[in-house]
Structure 1
Amino acid sequence: MSETPLLQLTDIEAGYGRAALVLRGLSVDVHAGSVVCLVGPNGAGKSTVLKVASGMLAPRSGSIRVEGREVTGHGPQQMLAAGLAHVLQGHSVFREMTVEENVRLGAYSITDRARIDERIRFVTELFPVVGERWRSLAGLLSGGQQKQVEFARSLMVDPKVLLLDEPSMGLDPKTTGVVFEQIDRMRTAGIAILLVEQNARRALETADVGCVLDLGRVHISGPAPMLLADPRLGELYLGGRPATPGTA
């Protein structure tokens, strides 16, 4: 891993309106080529971390840096330009548009046609089903295929870090497996990912680093296999006894 994280959240405090803080001094680093997974109970603030990182929610205090450059307080457009792409919960494809039209929307800020063509080649090679269904209406695709279209669209701007919020939400176990295979493919292609996922065990089996959130802070962090093997975490946060990494 490089010394300077691609994304660095330091001592972040954040909340909604006048309500109590959701994040209370949270710090997370994402290095090049790594998958960092945030897990924890409902209400721990996992999705709020991604909203802060993508500029959807301004932190009340703390620092956000991208490759060492301060970007705290920037809005979504500025964060996207800085290199942070956010894939939201649920399905966000435009069902009445083709796969091609959906993917090209991710390049709306790019004016160089050659660069757009280069990114299309990259995402269709990374996600073959996207190229295979290029002319199909996105609404006709399965849930797992639609998620790959969302991934492809988000990668059109060549982000430094991809923020994934509950990518397996609403998907059956088989399709969930396919989605995590694609996350692994993205990591192999050198894409850094900050992942929030309800299926904590499956996410930690894929991730390089795990961060367990509780009450708006990182309760414990470390190599994902270490967290999977920790019996305390298995009982408190992962739904029972720890599983052997690589097993269901």
Structure 2
Amino acid sequence: MASDYLLELVDIEAGYGRAALVLRGLTVRVPPASVVCLVGPNGAGKSTVLKVASGMLAPRAGRIRIGGEDITGRGPQDMLRHGLSHVLQGHSVFKEMTVGENVLLGAYTLREKARIAERADFVKTLFPVVADRWGSLAGALSGGQQKQVEFARSLMVSPRVVLLDEPSMGLDPKATATVFEQVVRMRDAGTAVLLVEQNARRALETADLGCVLDLGRVHISGPATELLADPQLGELYLGSRKTDRRQPSTPGADKS
């Protein structure tokens, strides 16, 4: 069945073990060539959305579709083959390997050497630091540069959607700005992005669409510029002086 969206999570319920549900009827849709960001207080379920989308956590109810095809219940390997690539929270480079070796790990499912070389050339063009430091040890790079290596690795399999979990975590303001610039470059190169980010204002400034999560549901969604302009939303979720003092996260749930 054809769809106007690359990725759809519809009426998703999900949780960890026997703990209460983290996601409670959540629906998120990602159009082609777009950045969709998920923002909200700690415990809202943002990172859990990405785990469900990438097959790391099976939903208890609801459907997951890529390009209109129902892939609910598939594991991470199947999700990757269907075009979903997941960049996890924190740094995941292998520091004692070179930048090039780290990037080429993302092509482990590819068999044609020409295709691997083509994708390597593409990511080098998209992320100049990857080309410049190809033979350098990844551990010698700054945190922001390592994040770009992770982005490049995620694109080696030509994903339709990249899932980014807190890409600015632990980075200084300059590196954070660079990371968000690279998110836009990925989108402009044709890859849709579903982004989870604690820096809500910066994420919405980068995104095309935003979804504000609260207590496992989408509280409000729409064009990112409209969400940024909503004063009530700013007071509750976007870092204004008034902050949301809602209940702590459910045991076993993600912290974001």
TM-score (norm 1): 0.96
User: 2:212–2:221: 8 Å Cα contact kept in structure 1?
Assistant: yes
Give per-residue Cα distances to partners, 1:54-81, cap 9 Å, x unaligned. 0000000000000000100000001001
User: Is the Cα–Cα contact under 8 Å of residues 3 and 67 in structure 2 kept in the other structure?
Assistant: no
Alignment match, 2:233: 233
**CA–CA separation in structure 2 for the residues paired with 1:66 and 1:3:** 9
The residue type paired with residue 25 of structure 2 is G
After TM superposition, the structure 1 = structure 2 runs for residues 50-89 of structure 1, keeping only pairs within 5 Å, are 50-89=50-89
Partner of 1:27: 27
2:197 corresponding residue in structure 1: 197
In structure 2, what is the Cα distance between the partners aligned to 1:98 and 1:30?
33
Deviation at 1:3, TM superposition (A): 5.2
Tell me which residue corresponds to 1:46: 46
Is residue 180 of structure 1 aligned with residue 180 of structure 2?
Answer: yes
CA distance in 2, matches of 1:82, 1:49: 17
Residue type of the partner of 2:152? A
User: Which ranges of 4 or more aligned residues in structure 1 deviate by more than 2 Å?
Assistant: none
The whole-number CA distance in structure 1 between the counterparts of 2:3 and 2:54 is 22
CA-based RMSD? 1.2
Give 2:102's aligned amino acid.
N
Gaps of 5+ in 2: 242-256
Q: CA separation in 1, counterparts of 2:203 and 2:145?
A: 19
The separation in 2 between residues aligned to 1:207 and 1:171, in whole angstroms, is: 19
CA shift at 1:187, angstroms?
A: 1.1
1:220 is paired with a residue whose SS is: strand
Q: Counterparts in 2 of 1:99-178, with a 5 A limit?
A: 99-178=99-178
Report the Cα distance in structure 1 between the residues aligned to 2:78 and 2:188, rounded to whole angstroms.
Answer: 27
Taking only the aligned residue pairs, the percentage that are identical comes to: 77
In the alignment of these two chains, the number of paired residues is 241
Q: For structure 1, which segment, 181-190 or 205-214, has the greater mean C-alpha deviation from structure 2 after superposition?
A: 181-190
Q: Contact 2:3 / 2:68 at 8 angstroms: preserved in 1?
A: no
Output the CA distance in 1 between the equivalents of 2:225 and 2:77.
35
For CA contacts below 8 A with separation 6 or more, give which structure has more relative contact order.
2
Gaps of 5+ in 1: 242-248
Q: In structure 1, the residue corresponding to 2:220 is in which secondary structure?
A: strand
- CA-CA distance at 1:217 after TM superposition: 0.4
Superimposed CA distance per residue, residues 138-176 of structure 1 (whole angstroms, 9 cap, x where no aligned partner): 000000110000000000000010000000000011110
User: So what's the TM-score if we normalise by structure 2?
Assistant: 0.93
